[in-house]
Amino acid sequence: MNPANTAAFHGIYPSTLCPFKPDYSIDEHVLERHIAEVTAVAGIVGILCNGHAGENYLLSREEKRRAIEVARQAMGQRGIIVAGINSESSLAAAEEARDAALARADAIMIFPPYSWAVSQDATMAIDHHRIVGRATDLPIMLFQGSVHAGHTAYTPAVLSQLVRIPNVVAIKEGSWETSAYEATRRTVREEAPQVAVMASGDEHLFSCFVLGSEGSLVSLAVVIPGAIVALDQAVRRGDLAAARAAHEVIYPLAKAIYGTPPGGHATARLKTCLRLLGRLERDLVRPPIAPLENSEVERLRRMLQAVRLL
């Protein structure tokens, strides 16, 4: 059975980053401060820890578990921790889910393995989620991948089965296309209306929120949490003028971070923005992601100045 009160998971969740020391080990002190800072903003209900922005694909199992423990230290009991589960192996993903429960996460998000971008069928997708789901009683959030990311975006037929898996409470909808986002909402409304569909295409938050959303799990909220919350609240009260004003801050930053090739630099760009804003001491990303060129750092600096953050 799905939890009766799935609405408890609605709201805005920053997808937090993972700061590193010069030797590329996790800087736990800075991570704790980073999480405490973003969750102190009014309107933030929790975090997505170990998401793609948190470099989950470059962390060991032990490091992922430790990141959740540090998050719980930073937040106490005042917010929801959604722990990202990302592994090519269903059995390893199940172990990560058990780790997340022991580290006191409140829910898990099951990411599709990267290999599925090349090839995936309905049986693989459903079996993967069922195996992980059976490993713990934690509520489950799904991840709907970008329309540009191959088979990590589930078809309506597969999605219809995934939302009926026990304990599924929400979907991080990352289609990165408003028409696909609306199609997902309509599919879920028909198959499992208790499951929240949460807009997460940073450049498209305005249009997706207007179409309808139960919240967002979004990495841009580590840079501008107040603007993301303001957009959500303005749309909910029908104040489109205020919503457009928030969008004018969100959209240029989203384009600079996510909408500029190569997309794989997004996490490095997020970290550099926080360093430029004085919120991170270092903007190291783990290899093979390379440091940003000076020209791109300056481009981000100008963008932060343009939206009056710097």
Residue identified by tokens 């599925």 is 116
What are the pLDDT digits (tens) for 8-48? 899 999 999 999 999 999 999 999 999 999 999 999 999 99
Assigned CATH class of 9-237: alpha beta
% of the chain at pLDDT higher than 90:
85
What are the pLDDT digits (tens) for 278-298? 999 999 999 999 899 999 999
Query: Across residues 221-242, what is the average pLDDT?
Result: 97
Give 176 or 244, the one with higher predicted confidence. Answer: 244
What are the pLDDT digits (tens) for 106-137? 999 999 998 887 777 778 999 999 999 999 99
pLDDT band at 5 (very low <50, low <70, confident <90, very high): low
What are the pLDDT digits (tens) for 157-179? 999 999 999 899 999 999 989 99
Q: List the chain domain ranges.
A: 9-237
Q: Which two tokens stand for residue 294?
A: 């000076």
